[in-house]
Amino acid sequence: MAKEREKKLFVGILGNYASELKLLLTTLLLLCAVATFLQFIPSRFTISASDLRFCISRVQSSPPPPSLSPPLTTTSSSSVSHLSTVEQDKILENGIIKRAFNPYGSAAYNFITMGAYRGGLNTFAIIGLASKPLHLYSKPTYECQWLSSSPPHTPITTVGYKILPDWGYGRVYTVVIVNCTFSTPVNAGNTGGKLVLRASTSGGGDTNFNITDTIDVLNESPNSLDLSVFTSPPKYDYFYCGSSLYGNLNPQRVREWIAYHVKFFGPKSHFVIHDAGGVHEQVLEVLKPWMELGYVTLQNIRDQERFDGYYHNQFMVVNDCLHRYKFMAKWMFFFDVDEYIYVPPKSTIKSVLDSLSEYSQFTIEQMPMSSKICLSSDYGKTYR
Ligand SMILES: *[C@@H]1O[C@H](CO)[C@@H](O)[C@H](O)[C@H]1NC(C)=O
Ligand SMILES: *[C@@H]1O[C@H](CO)[C@@H](O)[C@H](O)[C@H]1NC(C)=O
Peptide bond into 152 cis (omega under 30): yes
Categorize the per-residue pLDDT at 384 as very low, low, confident or very high, splitting at 50, 70 and 90.
low
Residue 60 has pLDDT above 90, yes or no: no
Q: Which ligand is closest to the CA of 181, given by its number?
A: 1
**What is the model's pTM?**
0.77
Q: Is the beta carbon of 157 within 6 A of some atom in ligand 2?
A: no
For helices 281-292 and 251-265, angle between their N-to-C axes, nearest 10 degrees: 20
**What is the C-alpha separation between 196 and 58, in angstroms, rounded?**
45
Q: Are 297 and 346 in contact (CB under 8 A)?
A: no
Residue 365 has pLDDT above 90, yes or no: yes
Arithmetic mean of pLDDT, 156-180: 95
How far is the centre of ligand 2, averaged over its atoms, from the C-alpha of 315 (Å)? 27
Residue with the smallest CA separation from ligand 1 atom 8 is 123
How far is the centre of ligand 2, averaged over its atoms, from the C-alpha of 291 (Å)? 46
Please give the share of the chain, as a percent, with pLDDT higher than 70.
Answer: 76
Q: Which atom of ligand 2 is nearest to the CA of 139?
A: 13
Q: Please provide the DSSP assignment of 182-208 as one string.
A: -SS-SSTT---EEEEEEEE---SS-TT
How far is the centre of ligand 2, averaged over its atoms, from the C-alpha of 207 (Å)? 8
Q: Which ligand is closest to the CA of 213, given by its number?
A: 2
How far is the centre of ligand 1, averaged over its atoms, from the C-alpha of 324 (Å)? 14
Q: Quote the pLDDT of residue 166.
A: 87
Residue 186 has pLDDT above 70, yes or no: yes
Give the three-class secondary structure for 370: coil
Q: Quote the pLDDT of residue 39.
A: 43
Residue 28 has pLDDT above 60, yes or no: no
Lowest mean pLDDT across 20-29, 240-249, 286-295, 316-325:
20-29
Categorize the per-residue pLDDT at 257 as very low, low, confident or very high, splitting at 50, 70 and 90.
very high
State how far the alpha carbon of 50 is from the alpha carbons of 28, 38, 57, 165, 368, in Å: 21, 15, 10, 53, 64
Q: Which atom of ligand 2 is nearest to the CA of 210?
A: 1
Q: Is the beta carbon of 141 within 6 A of some atom in ligand 2?
A: yes
Categorize the per-residue pLDDT at 48 as very low, low, confident or very high, splitting at 50, 70 and 90.
very low
Please give the share of the chain, as a percent, with pLDDT higher than 90.
Answer: 65
Arithmetic mean of pLDDT, 305-323: 95
Q: Quote the pLDDT of residue 377.
A: 76
**What is the C-alpha separation between 48 and 56, in angstroms, rounded?**
12
Give the three-class secondary structure for 323: helix
Residue 305 has pLDDT above 80, yes or no: yes
Q: Is the beta carbon of 210 within 6 A of some atom in ligand 2?
A: yes
Residue with the smallest CA separation from ligand 1 atom 2 is 179
Residue 380 has pLDDT above 90, yes or no: no
Arithmetic mean of pLDDT, 257-262: 98
State how far the alpha carbon of 339 is from the alpha carbons of 8, 260, 342, in Å: 16, 11, 10
Q: Pick the residue with more confidence: 44 or 216?
A: 216
Q: Is the beta carbon of 208 within 6 A of some atom in ligand 2?
A: no
Lowest mean pLDDT across 81-90, 152-161, 349-358:
81-90
How far is the centre of ligand 1, averaged over its atoms, from the C-alpha of 123 (Å)? 6
Q: Pick the residue with more confidence: 207 or 174?
A: 174
Categorize the per-residue pLDDT at 157 as very low, low, confident or very high, splitting at 50, 70 and 90.
very high
| Residue 217, amino acid | V
Give the three-class secondary structure for 210: coil
How far is the centre of ligand 1, averaged over its atoms, from the C-alpha of 178 (Å)? 10
Domains of the chain by range and CATH? Answer: 112-225 (2.60.40), 233-378 (no CATH)
Q: Are 112 and 128 in contact (CB under 8 A)?
A: yes
Q: Is the beta carbon of 138 within 6 A of some atom in ligand 2?
A: no
Among candidates 238, 239, 247, which has minimal Cα distance to 12? Answer: 247
Arithmetic mean of pLDDT, 15-32: 41
Q: Which atom of ligand 1 is nearest to the CA of 118?
A: 13
Q: Which atom of ligand 2 is nearest to the CA of 198?
A: 4
Q: Which ligand is closest to the CA of 143, given by its number?
A: 2
How far is the centre of ligand 2, averaged over its atoms, from the C-alpha of 175 (Å)? 21
Categorize the per-residue pLDDT at 43 as very low, low, confident or very high, splitting at 50, 70 and 90.
very low
Q: Is the beta carbon of 191 within 6 A of some atom in ligand 2?
A: no
Q: Quote the pLDDT of residue 206.
A: 61
Residue with the smallest CA separation from ligand 2 atom 10 is 202
Q: Quote the pLDDT of residue 3.
A: 37
Residue with the smallest CA separation from ligand 2 atom 14 is 207
Q: Residues lining ligand 1, judged by CB closer than 6 Å?
A: 119, 123-125, 179, 181
Residue with the smallest CA separation from ligand 2 atom 13 is 202
Q: Pick the residue with more confidence: 239 or 379?
A: 239
Categorize the per-residue pLDDT at 152 as very low, low, confident or very high, splitting at 50, 70 and 90.
confident
User: In sequence order, what are the residues at sequence separation of 6 or more whose Cβ sits closer than 8 angstroms to the Cβ of residue 321?
Assistant: 241, 242, 272, 274, 332
Q: Quote the pLDDT of residue 351.
A: 96
